[in-house]
Homo-oligomer: A and B are copies of this chain.
Amino acid sequence: MPTAHPPAVSATLREVGLRDGLQSVTTIVGTADKCRWVDAAHAAGVREIEVGSMVPARLLPQLADTEAVLQHALRLPGLVASVLVPNLKGAQRALAAGAHAMIVPLSASHAHSLANLRKTPDEVVAEVARIRAARDASGNRAGSRTIIEGGVGTAFGCTLQGEVPEAEVLRLLQALLDAGADRVSLADTVGHADPARVSRLFDKALHRVGDRLRYAHFHDTRGMGLANAYAAWQAGVRGFDACLGGIGGCPHAPGASGNVATEDLAYMLERMGAHTGVQVPALLQLRRQLQQWLPGEPLHGSLWQAGVIRTRTEPAPAPNTAAACL
């Protein structure tokens, strides 16, 4: 039986800012700074980091050093170092590099899939089968242990196509697993999700594939990122993608304000009593560093303004009967 509602209260945050975030900004962060980011996130308690994307350097020069950052990340104790791979060719690079995990993006919206990947969803499923065969042929090399994750995007709607039927999303999750993916995830690529829809789809998906559905990936396009994460958490999801400083977003989502901010999501989960293992103040410190690496680039999120909650011990401020707070 699939375990739809695991009793554990641990949550895993996967930092995807080095991939989903940096692919969306024009600034190229140097390899040394990316490695500092990985180190600091790891030191803050993050235990999975998507360090880049195995695409040709000419297409995404920001991520051209993915192999180097991956090699660095692979040396950190207890860290799962993952990369995005758009196809078999990228997967072969990930296998050769010994990535711990590789995420194969699939778009449940056919229109978005063709626009973004030049393939139909089922062609991506077929590619996952080829990727699985490649891994199985890896013998005793490090790549033989690389986890294959099918990441189903536009799972909650699509700017190009509009509605994306739940049945199609569920079919594709199953198809990915049948084709050899070890685990799957659901992404609100273009910010169409709302908590009710998230609750409904994750509930069905978890009943269908159990804890092989590992990660929820939310954008904060219309401010509902944390609400959607909470709805997914309530449905039983225990893994979340997030970007430090809320950077990232999709070029097909106009006006997108980025991904859920890692620091905001970690704080919400911790306040809720979940154990993320993440030190939120350290993430806030790293966010300040990120702003220096991305000068002029707008960062997002809310926690950085007010900071974590500190109860004052000094005397109460002067009484103010005027502005009766409520």
Which residues from chain A sit less than 8 Å from chain B, CB to CB?
A: 16, 20, 23-24, 53, 55, 59-60, 84, 86, 103, 105, 107, 111-112, 114-118, 151, 153-154, 157-162, 187, 189-192, 194-197, 217, 220-224, 226-227, 229-231, 234, 241, 250-257, 261, 264, 267-268, 271-273, 301-303, 305-307, 309, 311-312, 316-326
Contact = CB atoms under 8 A, between A and B. Distances in A.
B316 A114 contact: yes
A197 B162 CA distance: 35
Nearest to A314: B160
A211 to B, nearest CB: 20
Given A24-B323, A319-B115, A326-B217, A303 B84 contact: no
Instruction: In the A-B complex, list the 9 residue pairs whose CB atoms are closest, starting with the nearest.
Output: A223-B302, A59-B322, A255-B306, A162-B311, A194-B271, A196-B272, A250-B325, A115-B316, A227-B227
Main secondary structure of the interface of A (DSSP, over half): loop
Contacts of A250: 323, 325
Given A59-B322, A103-B326, A255-B306, A115 B317 contact: yes
Nearest to A106: B326
A27 to B, nearest CB: 15
Contacts of A217: 326
A144 to B, nearest CB: 24
A38 to B, nearest CB: 19
A116 B324 contact: yes
A227 B187 contact: no
B222 A264 contact: yes
A316 to B, nearest CB: 4
A222 B303 contact: yes
A24 to B, nearest CB: 7
A189 B325 contact: yes
B305 A257 contact: yes
A251 to B, nearest CB: 6
Contact of A324 (B84, B307, B324): B84
A316 B115 CA distance: 6
A117, A252, A261, A311: which has the most chain B beta carbons within 10 Å? A311
A128 to B, nearest CB: 14
A4 B235 CA distance: 21
B194 A60 contact: no
